[in-house]
A and B are shown apart, each in its own frame.
Chain A
Amino acid sequence: MTAFPKKAALPTNAVVVGEGERSVVTQSYLPEVGRGLAVTMQHFFHNTREMLRGERPDPVTERLDPGISTISYPEQKRPYPERFRGVHRLTLREDASPRCVACLCCSTACPAQCIFIEPGEYPEGDKRRGYERFPVKFVIDELRCIFCGYCVEACPCDAIRMDTGAHATPYDSRDQFIYGKDLLTSFPGRDGSHKSENPRHEPGEPTHPGVTREHQSH
């Protein structure tokens, strides 16, 4: 049977920190109570004055100052960075139809497979028939989306963007997170526009850079 291990000797360079003075004054607890009350009252009166004068520190630019730096969320928002990826939107053409040509690039690029597109052909005689299709359905499941932005990168037409600056609204049931084409086209960008800055060149227009019908035989 081994003896109870002895306490190791202190290293020679150790500094013993005392327990502090246990005088009657410290033991009475009163000076510290007073000091604590001083701290709480200081905060209280400072914050009350700022509230009464309506000059609470700005939660972003004065956040290190004393005082309440809470952002009252729905009314106030922290300014998002310029390249913040928010909820998707579908940009519109001049005639207010989606710019999307239903090429399925975005749904292919999507690592979360949250985009579903049902492409449709333009009717016979339409100038765009044979050049591009249009989305009959364009559905994004915002609960599945991981907001990676690959769909925006993949889109050849600048038709899907994540520049709404909004994050997905919380709803009370899952089906409400499945955004359809109408909802996606209804979101404006940060600048308030439903369009994109990049010009759109419709087939048949002289600026249209792509293949023409003459190239079809090749």
Chain B
Amino acid sequence: MNLGLQLLFALIKILIMIGFLFNVGALLTWVDRRQSAMIQDRVGPNRAFVKVPILGEVRLFGLLHTAADGLKFFFKEDFIPPNADKLLFGLAPILAMAPVLALIAVIPFGDVIDVNALMRTVCVGADNHILNVDHGKCLDAGRKVVEGVSPFLIFPAVPRFGTPSITTGPIELVVAPLNVGLLYVFALAGQGIVGAAIAGWSSDNKFSLMGALRAASQMVSYEVTMGLSLVGAMMLYGTVRLDDMVRWQGENCWGIFAQPVAFFVFFAAAVAESKRIPFDLPEAESELVSGYFTEYSGMKFGMFYFAEYMEVATSSMLLVTIFLGGWQLPWIHRDGLTIAFGTETVFHTLMPHVWVTILQVLTFFGKVLVVCSFQAFVRWTLPRFRYDQLMKIGWRVLLPLSLANIFVTGCIVLGVDKSSLGFQGGLKVAADITQAALVVGLTGLTIAGVFWMLKRHKDSTWIVGSSAERALAAGGTKESPMQA
């Protein structure tokens, strides 16, 4: 591939990732409000609308509130406190947002695409010989045009193992395929502190400073846990490249089964890193107004707000990549659908490379959305920790837990390496059983969900007071909206 094409593909990949991140960030502000409304038996925001000529007022379940918020941020006064450090005050939102954007560069959202294998024009001769194709003509071995057969398009499959060589034109579906993948993630995740700390310092406000202090100490504490919790995963996968980690999970089992403790610890640390409930001490409303960004208004506040939601999205991406199989669907491999237990192949069929790629990319983004939604559930379920509890959990529970996890993982990895082939085969069967369990579990959940959606249920009627009587006489409140 020449340089221009490479740059073009890089640009497309950046656009996909940044576009996804921004849209998920915007969507999450909606999800946060709407999901919390559904959790708390409220209707939630649904009043913002646009007038569309034929459809009238379009409200889109309150999605437009996000757009309205964005507009509002731009038109609000950009207030800078008189004694604030103007340079740092303006720099802080950028410093908060930049690492989040840069972090997604190493996150793979799909397997390597073999460009030449996406689609191919072929000719099949009379005796099922594959013929050469040239300018829409079929040529035989002597480069003479064969009459009676015409070329047609096929979507071939690719082999399951081995990546295509450089000459055949692979596209890696990751913005920057770094060899130090996970280390880059740690390096950038550490930068999140800088924005918060500078924001609090430069605001000339004691609440902001308190928030910044809390943010700094909290994030430094949980940074350690976050890094150490992934060491076990790195040892198990034998790599720090995120795409190789995903491949390992596709061939064996998802990280959540291999490293359950690390999954839990990393999840807690990631929530703490994104400074959200139950770890939102730096912006605790009841204590610190809104913490380190108390003095911010307008789009600068919007950037903090948005960076927080994008951080949720990036931490979900990391979680999906390292523990939930990344782009992998159980049983779907690079070459197609394979159901196997150990060396026993139950079912195998080839699937076109295009389909597999599209499926895998959609799987990755779908998983990210599910994890984001789960983070919102956590956010609306748990109360905020007290500050000493936060520190205790970080240093006395999660950190020893991650250290113990490293030790145990090391022992197990060493033991498995030294063990017999039969034992290793047994482990492979166990891993394949987890894949099968995932398929069965998810399918069962989906079917149960559909049945539950369609099930009829009867609500009871309570006629208390004259207004209920009038409502009943008018056919219920819902059906007779404007009664008085």
Q: Which residues of A contact B (CB under 8 A)?
A: 33, 36-37, 39-41, 43-45, 47-49, 51-53, 56-72, 75-82, 84, 86, 164-166, 190
Which A residues lie within 8 Å of B472 (CB)? 61
Which B residues lie within 8 Å of A166 (CB)? 484
Identify A61's interface contact among B35, B41, B476, CB under 8 A. B476
Dominant SS among interface residues on chain B: loop
Which A residues lie within 8 Å of B39 (CB)? 40, 43-44, 47
Which B residues lie within 8 Å of A68 (CB)? 38, 41-43
Which A residues lie within 8 Å of B471 (CB)? 58, 60-61, 78-79
Q: Are B467 and A60 touching (Cβ within 8 A)? A: yes
Q: Are B43 and A72 touching (Cβ within 8 A)? A: yes
Which A residues lie within 8 Å of B378 (CB)? 37
Q: Are A76 and B468 touching (Cβ within 8 A)? A: no
Q: Are A65 and B42 touching (Cβ within 8 A)? A: no
Q: Are B377 and A79 touching (Cβ within 8 A)? A: no
Complex Cα–Cα for A52 and B34 (A): 14
Q: Are B381 and A36 touching (Cβ within 8 A)? A: yes
Expressed in whole angstroms, the minimum distance between the Cβ of A41 and any Cβ of chain B is 6
Identify A79's interface contact among B38, B40, B477, CB under 8 A. B477
Expressed in whole angstroms, the minimum distance between the Cβ of B156 and any Cβ of chain A is 41
Q: Are B380 and A59 touching (Cβ within 8 A)? A: no
User: Contacts A41-B377, A78-B477, A86-B484: A62 and B462 contacting too (C-beta < 8 A)?
Assistant: yes
Q: Are B484 and A33 touching (Cβ within 8 A)? A: no
Complex Cα–Cα for A120 and B137 (A): 103
Q: Are A71 and B382 touching (Cβ within 8 A)? A: no
15 additional A-B residue pairs with CB within 8 Å, beyond A49-B453, A61-B463, A75-B482: A33-B382, A44-B35, A44-B39, A47-B41, A57-B459, A60-B476, A64-B462, A67-B41, A69-B41, A77-B484, A79-B471, A79-B477, A79-B483, A80-B470, A165-B484
Expressed in whole angstroms, the minimum distance between the Cβ of A193 and any Cβ of chain B is 14
Which A residues lie within 8 Å of B41 (CB)? 43, 47, 66-69
Expressed in whole angstroms, the minimum distance between the Cβ of B398 and any Cβ of chain A is 11
User: Contacts A49-B453, A58-B471: A40 and B380 contacting too (C-beta < 8 A)?
Assistant: yes
Chain B: number of interface residues, binned into ranges: 35 or more
Q: Are B484 and A76 touching (Cβ within 8 A)? A: no
Question: Of B38, B462, B463, B468, which is in contact with the most chain A CB atoms at under 10 Å from its CB?
Answer: B38
Expressed in whole angstroms, the minimum distance between the Cβ of B131 and any Cβ of chain A is 54
Closest to A190 in B: B484
Identify B477's interface contact among A39, A53, A59, CB under 8 A. A59
Complex Cα–Cα for A41 and B481 (A): 30
Expressed in whole angstroms, the minimum distance between the Cβ of A78 and any Cβ of chain B is 6
Cβ contacts A to B, 16 pairs, < 8 Å: A36-B381, A43-B40, A47-B39, A47-B41, A58-B476, A58-B477, A59-B477, A61-B477, A62-B459, A62-B462, A63-B462, A64-B462, A67-B41, A77-B482, A82-B466, A84-B484
User: Contacts A61-B472, A62-B462: A76 and B477 contacting too (C-beta < 8 A)?
Assistant: yes
Complex Cα–Cα for A48 and B40 (A): 12
Q: Are A40 and B377 touching (Cβ within 8 A)? A: yes
Question: Of B43, B460, B480, which is in contact with the most chain A CB atoms at under 10 Å from its CB?
Answer: B43
Which 6 pairs from chain A and chain B are nearest by CB?
A165-B484, A79-B470, A60-B471, A47-B38, A36-B381, A65-B459
Closest to B479 in A: A58
Which B residues lie within 8 Å of A78 (CB)? 467, 471, 477
Closest to A67 in B: B41
Complex Cα–Cα for A10 and B440 (A): 59
Expressed in whole angstroms, the minimum distance between the Cβ of B24 and any Cβ of chain A is 19
0/1 string, B97-129, CB within 8 A of A gives 1: 000000000000000000000000000000000
Which B residues lie within 8 Å of A51 (CB)? 38
Closest to B463 in A: A61
Expressed in whole angstroms, the minimum distance between the Cβ of B42 and any Cβ of chain A is 6
Question: Of A48, A62, A65, A165, which is in contact with the most chain B CB atoms at under 10 Å from its CB?
Answer: A62
Q: Does B452 contact A (CB under 8 A)?
A: yes
Closest to A36 in B: B381
Complex Cα–Cα for A47 and B35 (A): 10
**Which residues of B (375-419) have their CB < 8 Å from a CB of A?**
377-378, 380-382
Q: Are B38 and A43 touching (Cβ within 8 A)? A: yes
Closest to B455 in A: A49
Q: Does B474 contact A (CB under 8 A)?
A: yes
